[in-house]
Structure 1
Amino acid sequence: MTQPGTALSQLDALEAEAIHIVREVVAQMERPALLFSGGKDSICLLHVAIKAFAPAAVPMPVVHIDTGQNFPEVIAFRDMIVERYGLNLVVGSVQDAIDAGTVREEPNGSRNRIQTPVLLDTIEKNRFDACMGGARRDEEKARAKERVFSFRDDFGQWDPRNQRPELWSLYNGKVHPGESIRVFPLSNWTELDIWDYIRSREVEVPSIYYAHEREVFLRDGMWMAANEFAVPGDGDEVVTKKVRYRTVGDATLTAAVESDADTIDKIIEETAATRLTERGATRGDDRVSEAAMEDRKKEGYF
């Protein structure tokens, strides 16, 4: 325990804030859930939640909207963590929604946009009134507009001009039936903070985040892994490069970066020197337009 008059480090302060927010969600809301994809941010958020309620179990289910186009290493890691901590995993399947005819796959093969109706349907079916996610304000301009408690109407939509004040870190979780709150306990963290936290707390992450050799090809200036989801075109040259992933979304649109960073210390050094966010550098879904993320968030995307 910190002694009176002892200043917290930046990392300790961020963790304490996140723990406070997670506890506020559980105290105020009736049916909260935690979004968990197996990516580094959701792993850190889960670690915070475990710490917030230890030695008791995490008092909420974890939810993953599975597009069916994930990197297999990440899904395997997700399942391992769920089993290790005895978590209740709720999966919203985009493939099931496609098979049922409730969503239609886009011509380009990406399932990023059609995640949103599956997420909204999962929230409605399970009557979740709050969903916590690992989004951070430094990732993207639209996410920088978010409050920590981000109100969604009964259609699951977000209005950036209609947000509740959060003076003195007081959070208003009041919702009417059908409405919900998206909560972002890691809002004030940066990518560098995430990796500092992973190193400091010895948090395990999927191997895909560390530099490794992979068959890749160049598309729109980004190195895409050659696999069943991202198929090289006739003119694309497949080469083997040492790469790592800064973020892990769908394999159809998430690119790798050339890197020799195969340890956490090297990743932190590399992250400290970069001037592009991980989404801006490696996510094709955020290159559609300047307002791509904000448009999806207004529709109900996390």
Structure 2
Amino acid sequence: MTLTRVPDAGPGANTGLGIQDTLEAESIHIIREVVAEFERPAMLFSGGKDSVVMLHLAAKAFWPGRVPFPVVHVDTGHNFPEVLEFRDRTVDRLGLRLEVASVQDYIDRGELRERADGTRNPLQTTPLLDIIRELRFDAVFGGGRRDEDKARAKERILSLRDEFGQWDPRNQRPELWNLYNGRHPVGHHVRAFPISNWTELDIWRYIAREDIELPSIYYAHPRDVFHRDGMWRAVGAYSQPGEGEEVSVRTVRYRTVGDMSCTGAVLSDAATVEDVVLEVAASTLTERGATRADDRLSEAAMEDRKKDGYF
């Protein structure tokens, strides 16, 4: 199957650029602006598709030089092994410096406690804020997109965080004409979202166009799963079926990657990037709404976590 570029009906139409070129140019501009304006930027990199695309854009922005900042991963200890292997391989290939903040270390020291539901994604906030403070990062790139969640839709490209790492949705700066103001008081920092205006479909079309490698779990594969809360959960060390939950082998893939204990798979035969593009184009559910149990804790689950310092 050959993917063709769709003419842009928006600003890109005035420049002759297609939508993929327009989004790429905007993202690279944001990355370069942040690196020029801030002293100690860093980029969150988990090995998930959005962070992979963001890192690919950063590599393009500074080619043939290296990416001029470290990457940071807040490791919950419940990650998919395939994703961790991909993370390490990518860091080695690009010659990056990887900084890891471990949730398990905080639990071992008694600074964090396991949740009753076993989910560790909400526990990432404290390690994230600590590593930002310890390494004195003044700007941190994240792969959040506005189409993922209504809380992320509220956020600006450059989002201010106070001395406690907290976000106030009522205290945001206008970004007219794509002008970004990164000024911030000492002790505060900024979160930067270069792919904020991308959709899930944009991400996958770009992956297809650029031939970007992803962890294998994003494509259809057989896996032992059980059904819980309307989602297919993988059987693993941190995800076990309960009473009455039958294990079966299904052909599944993952639309988003988080903890094994809170991320669901979707039944799918999409084994290639072209298949995934068609599947995502036909989907009527957002990826997080369909597959992330941690976002179902309340109507404002994501916004509550973001106010506390989460991405």
Question: Normalization by structure 2: what TM-score?
Answer: 0.95
* 1:238-275 deviation line (CA, Å, top 9, x unaligned): 00000000000000000000000001111000000001
* 1:17-66 deviation line (CA, Å, top 9, x unaligned): 00000001101111000000000000000000000001111000000000
CA distance in 1, matches of 2:115, 2:246: 25
Secondary structure (helix, strand or coil) at the match of 2:238 reads coil
Where do 5+ consecutive residues of structure 1 fail to align?
none
CA distance in 2, matches of 1:231, 1:6: 53
* Matched residue, 1:297: 306
* Matched residue, 1:80: 89
CA distance in 1, matches of 2:159, 2:210: 28
Which of 185, 205, 214 in structure 1 is aligned with 2:214? 205
Are 2:21 and 1:12 aligned?
A: yes
Which of 155, 177, 191 in structure 2 is aligned with 1:182? 191
* Matched residue, 1:68: 77
CA distance in 2, matches of 1:6, 1:188: 18
| One-letter identity of the residue aligned with 2:62 | F
* Matched residue, 1:45: 54
* Matched residue, 1:265: 274
| One-letter identity of the residue aligned with 2:130 | D
Residue 224 of structure 1 and its aligned partner are, at CA, apart by: 0.2
Which of 11, 15, 35 in structure 1 is aligned with 2:44? 35
CA distance in 1, matches of 2:31, 2:217: 28
Residue 234 of structure 1 and its aligned partner are, at CA, apart by: 2.0
CA distance in 2, matches of 1:105, 1:129: 30
* 1:164-207 deviation line (CA, Å, top 9, x unaligned): 11111111111122100001000000000000000001110010
Residue 110 of structure 1 and its aligned partner are, at CA, apart by: 1.1
1:90-109 alignment to 2 at 5 Å? 90-109=99-118
Residue 6 of structure 1 and its aligned partner are, at CA, apart by: 5.4
* Matched residue, 1:25: 34
* Matched residue, 1:193: 202
What CA RMSD, in Å, does the superposition of the two structures yield over aligned residues?
Answer: 0.8
Superposed structure 1 runs of 4+ greater than 3 Å apart: none
Secondary structure (helix, strand or coil) at the match of 1:199 reads helix
* 1:66-94 deviation line (CA, Å, top 9, x unaligned): 00000000000000000001000000000
* Matched residue, 2:251: 242
Q: 1:6 to 1:110 in 2, by over 3 A?
A: closer
* Matched residue, 1:251: 260
Where do 5+ consecutive residues of structure 2 fail to align?
1-13
* 1:209-234 deviation line (CA, Å, top 9, x unaligned): 00000000000010000111111112
Which of 132, 137, 148 in structure 1 is aligned with 2:141? 132
* Matched residue, 1:229: 238
Residue 118 of structure 1 and its aligned partner are, at CA, apart by: 0.8
Instruction: Percent identity, please.
Output: 64
Question: Normalization by structure 1: what TM-score?
Answer: 0.98
Secondary structure (helix, strand or coil) at the match of 1:114 reads helix
Secondary structure (helix, strand or coil) at the match of 1:113 reads helix
